[in-house]
A and B are shown apart, each in its own frame.
Chain A
Amino acid sequence: MEDEIRRHCKGLLSEKKIDVIWGLREKDGFVAPYLFQNPEELDSLVVSSKYPLSFTCRPSKETILSILQKKKPGLKIGVIARGCDERALIELAKSEQINLDLIEIIGFACDREQAQECVCFKPFPQNLKFGTKVEGIAEEKAFQDLMATELKGRLKFWHDQLSKCIKCYGCRNACPMCFCKDCRMEQSVYTETGWLPPEFPLFQFVRFYHMADRCIECGECEKACPMDIPLRKITKYLRSKMKEIFGYQAGLDPKQKSPILTTLDEDPLKEFQDEI
């Protein structure tokens, strides 16, 4: 598949159908996102490793593709995207961070092993060009066990887990959707600054709250956590609740608006009232 993708991308570049390719490059054994600008470079393109292609650059707090699009207006970028990469692009476009019209998604499917490793609910993009779809893993699986325990046990679980936090902000930094200029996690209103562990549970929960309608379930937050806090038990729960209550899933349809935004000026949803 890797060779096929390389050939396809070489064609796109040499025929000038797109200007640049944004994908993963391997150099001296290091795999990282790279901006391929000429066909020869594409021999070092890889898709075997998982490395997110959308991320927020700090301290500018802008997503990388937005920086590239601003630097060269009109630039046509081809993005070699897995399912999660595509979901990030769609969601970033919905938040007006990038212009999806100028991005060509060159989608490929993850294999079963990768899907399992990432516990991915949709391990393939909508714009699937390469590879064969494998079935996703139901989101509920991630939190079923925990939800089966009683409330007190869950509280203790999260208290123990979140007490491991060393405030690296890696969950936020690795998140393709965390591009807020004014991040709530940094504000002393929510958590006293300068101490470990941060006060339970607001430091992390203020982020979860913000991610409820934006999380595209790439799992990068959990992978970035030096202390292995199982953050996806919450993000997956939130996603499943968003689907159940509002029928909303972030990152799938560029036209679907977040219900959290759209219901602000209406009465709170009746069924949600009942729920709480």
Chain B
Amino acid sequence: MRYDNVPTVCPYCGAGCRLYLQILDQEIIGVLPVKSHAVSQGKLCIKGWNAQEFVPHKDRLLKPLIKRNGRFEEASWDEALEIVAKRLKDYPPEAVAVLSSAKCTNEENFLMQKFARVVLGTNNVDHCARLCHASTVVGLVKSFGSGAMTNSIPELENSKCILVIGSNTAEQHPLVARYIMRAKEKGATLIVADPRKITLTHFADFHLPQRPGTDVALLNGLMNVIISEGLENKDFIAERTENFEALKDMVKKYTPDKVERITGVPKDKLIQAARAYAKSPASAIVYSMGITQHTTGVDNVVSCANLAMLTGNIGKPGTGVNPLRGQVNVQGACDLGALPNVYSGYQSVADENIRKKFEDAWHVKLPPKPGLTVVEMMKEAEKGNLKALYIMGENPMVSDPDIGHVKKGLENLDFLVVQDIFMSETAALADIVLPAAAYAERDGTMTSTDRRVQLLNKAIEPAGESKPDWLIICELAKKMGSREFDYSSTSDIMDEMARLTPLYGGMSYERLRVRELQWPCPTKDHPGTPILHKEKFTRGKGQFLPIEFKEPAELPDEDYPFILTTGRTIFHFHTGTMSRRVSALNREVPTGYVEINSKDAEKIGIKDGNVVSITTRRGTIQIKTKITPRVNEGVVFIPFHFAECAANILTNPALDPTAKIPEFKVCACRVEKG
């Protein structure tokens, strides 16, 4: 008899809670929270408490599958990898692409981008960060020089004022909400800017219900009040920032009256919230998809950065601009270079010196031109320019906007490989499906939203013949003739990552085994960095960028009178491949629904629980109604987890011009009976 508690990281959101998997004789018998963990402190949300259930699920993929005559047949690893290796070689580098995964480890993401660049010879590598925080990475780099959460989660507890904008924190990052609630109970002022009456609004001092897509106007309005009342931090602006005058000129126009007209937020509330934020000794901004998933995603992010710099709320405990990342390792997947324009540590592929460094390390000539992003890949596939796609642990058939076109794109590929733990909606379209090991079955590291690198420990053997993703990549690379994928363990991979990536330079398994490290951690004796931009910004001076308000790409009109906005619930996660295989979560929420205000429901003549059709210019879905005051009149909300009533059949694939993030949060729709 052998019992053990194996410390790992919860596989869901970016809060990065740690938990023990309880193992009795190679079987997971339960989950225990880790009391000593800095963030989770022995607490978990419902998803974390049930994180073990999907691991041994009967639907797990246990053998490689090859599609022949439209049907999947089981195959050996050797046969399946042989075909993948041979087929991928058939295409020129610009006609192949890979999607890496925010559910996989840092090591696996590092290897995936290395595989794309070294073996396939392409920078066509991206992952779903494109769909959640691409605008954060771009926006915060412009303003600060570093595109990540500036402070640490537990610090929020000591904030004196917290502005939560576009983040349903209690549901999407429950253990982050813990610290917001603790701050509130210690007397902090809580401002919640959200079109919906989300859980946190019950506790907010000010709820600013902006019309979806008007965040820039709202943030400019707050800055207008602060400057016109002389509440800006003049010392901080003078010493630490540049380009203030341009910002000052621009926000002049955004008077409370004008902002009320654009956003629908009463001007009195706006003024009071602005004063509270500016006057508190430590104010923090917390944001998430409500800011990023817009055609103005970068503008929204930059406006948050402007507001924080204006009041000097950067570089001190309990302050900062704090984007909450959606998936457990979406921070790490970006950090380790699963992006088309950068290697690990945000080192540009276009920079000759950097490219030379990686070429020397990997003994190969590397392509200088940045590759395709997720949504562009789907468009190129539909046009027939992209021929082969290798997807590791992602499910664009539910996660991407305008699924109708995603499907056309994927079906138009010559060759699609999907590596996953379940037969996802995307895997079903593949030519080859490779069974991957689940989080409990592998070693590696993950980086949570506050740049906290944490160790995953293998608790049990992989199900069936499934293998950890890093091992699959190595075996495939070797089959394709590369000698650059010889690793004996994930610790080996970390050592290479550390050598090539200054942000992770001082990290090793030896150190991470006993404590987490927050990047930047450049040297072996560096303790890690809980707060960024303390003495100076990563880029030197913080840069104010004046941003004008722009309307969303698609606005309601006569034919499509409602605004559709999408998001998640606490009881499920993303495309549901994991959470919808957990009984406790299905009992809470078995399928999708559309939230609609009672006045709108009355006008259309529908009751709670009725099935309605929701139609946009992309498509139609049938879905059950939930009549609730959570949404205002004129706005409907659909959680996007559910393939059978997929919100993303409806969403608009219009992109932010620089970050290429789609506008999941606003499109125009029509609601009809039946």
Q: What residues make up the interface of A, taking CB atoms closer than 8 Å to B?
A: 20, 28-35, 37, 49-51, 55-60, 64, 67-68, 71-72, 163-164, 166-170, 173-174, 186, 193-194, 196-197, 223-228
Contacts and interface: CB of A to CB of B under 8 A. Distances in A.
A240 B317 CA distance: 42
Contacts of A225: 43
B24 interface: yes
A29 B38 CA distance: 13
B508 interface: no
Interface string B140-184: 000000000000000000000000000000110011011001100
A30 B34 contact: yes
A166 B32 contact: no
B583 to A, nearest CB: 7
A50 B42 CA distance: 11
B197 to A, nearest CB: 11
B22 interface: yes
Interface residues of B, number: 50
Contacts of A167: 46, 570-571, 588
Given A30-B34, A34-B4, A169-B49, A226 B584 contact: no
A57 B178 CA distance: 25
Interface in B1-30: 1-5, 7, 20, 22, 24-25, 29-30
A30 B36 contact: yes
Interface string B170-210: 11001101100110010000000000000100110000000
B50 interface: yes
A56 B178 CA distance: 24
Interface string B67-89: 00000000000000000000000
The 9 closest A-B pairs by CB, nearest first: A57-B30, A32-B5, A35-B3, A226-B43, A194-B589, A226-B178, A57-B29, A194-B588, A168-B45
A186 B583 CA distance: 11
B587 interface: yes
B226 interface: no
Contacts of A226: 43-45, 174-175, 177-178
24 contacts: A32-B7, A34-B4, A37-B1, A55-B30, A57-B29, A58-B49, A59-B50, A59-B584, A60-B30, A64-B30, A71-B1, A166-B177, A168-B49, A169-B584, A193-B587, A193-B589, A194-B569, A196-B170, A196-B171, A197-B202, A224-B33, A224-B42, A224-B43, A226-B177
A201 to B, nearest CB: 15
Nearest to A60: B29
Nearest to A71: B1
B35 interface: yes
Nearest to B585: A194
A51 B5 CA distance: 13
A168 B43 CA distance: 9
Nearest to A20: B1
B5 A227 contact: no
Best-surrounded residue of A33, A55, A68 (most CB of chain B within 10 A): A33
Interface in B200-240: 202-203
A29 B44 CA distance: 20
A254 B366 CA distance: 73
Contacts of B261: none
A51 B49 CA distance: 17
B42 A223 contact: yes
A196 B199 contact: yes
Contact of A166 (B22, B30, B170): B170
Contacts of A35: 1-3
Given A59-B53, A169-B46, A31 B35 contact: yes
Contacts of B53: 59
A55 B29 CA distance: 12
B31 interface: yes
B524 interface: no
B513 interface: yes
Nearest to B593: A194
A227 B185 CA distance: 10
A30 B7 contact: yes
B45 A228 contact: no
A55 B3 CA distance: 14
Contact of B583 (A29, A59, A64): A59
B314 to A, nearest CB: 28
Chain A binding site: helix, strand, loop or mixed by DSSP?
loop
B515 interface: yes
Chain B binding site: helix, strand, loop or mixed by DSSP?
mixed
A29 B588 CA distance: 36
Nearest to A56: B30
A32 B66 CA distance: 43
Contacts of B49: 58, 168-170, 173
A125 B322 CA distance: 46
A117 B5 CA distance: 25
A163 B25 CA distance: 41
Contacts of B203: 164
Nearest to A33: B5
Contact of B178 (A30, A60, A71, A227): A227
Contacts of A67: 24, 29
B3 A68 contact: yes
B459 to A, nearest CB: 12
A228 B182 contact: yes
B515 A29 contact: yes
Contact of B36 (A29, A60, A71, A170): A29
A72 B203 CA distance: 51
Contacts of B36: 29-31, 49
A33 B34 CA distance: 11
A170 B4 CA distance: 21
A31 B25 CA distance: 20
A69 B45 CA distance: 30
A66 to B, nearest CB: 11
Contacts of A60: 29-30
B32 to A, nearest CB: 7
A166 B45 contact: yes
Nearest to B198: A196
A58 B31 contact: yes
A224 B7 CA distance: 17
Interface in B531-586: 569-571, 583-584
Contacts of A223: 35, 42-43
Interface in B45-64: 45-46, 48-50, 53
Interface string B503-514: 000000000011
Given A68-B1, A226-B45, A166 B174 contact: yes
B199 to A, nearest CB: 5
Best-surrounded residue of A31, A68, A196, A228 (most CB of chain B within 10 A): A196
A214 to B, nearest CB: 20
A54 B297 CA distance: 49
A164 B513 CA distance: 34
A107 to B, nearest CB: 22
A168 B49 CA distance: 7
A166 B514 contact: no
A90 B1 CA distance: 25
A58 B587 CA distance: 15
A27 B22 CA distance: 15
A168 B35 contact: no
Nearest to B571: A194
B410 to A, nearest CB: 32
Nearest to A72: B1
Contacts of B570: 166-167, 196
Contacts of B178: 226-228
Contacts of B45: 166, 168, 226
A44 to B, nearest CB: 12
Contacts of A186: 584, 587
Contacts of A174: 33
Contacts of B171: 166, 196
A71 B7 contact: no
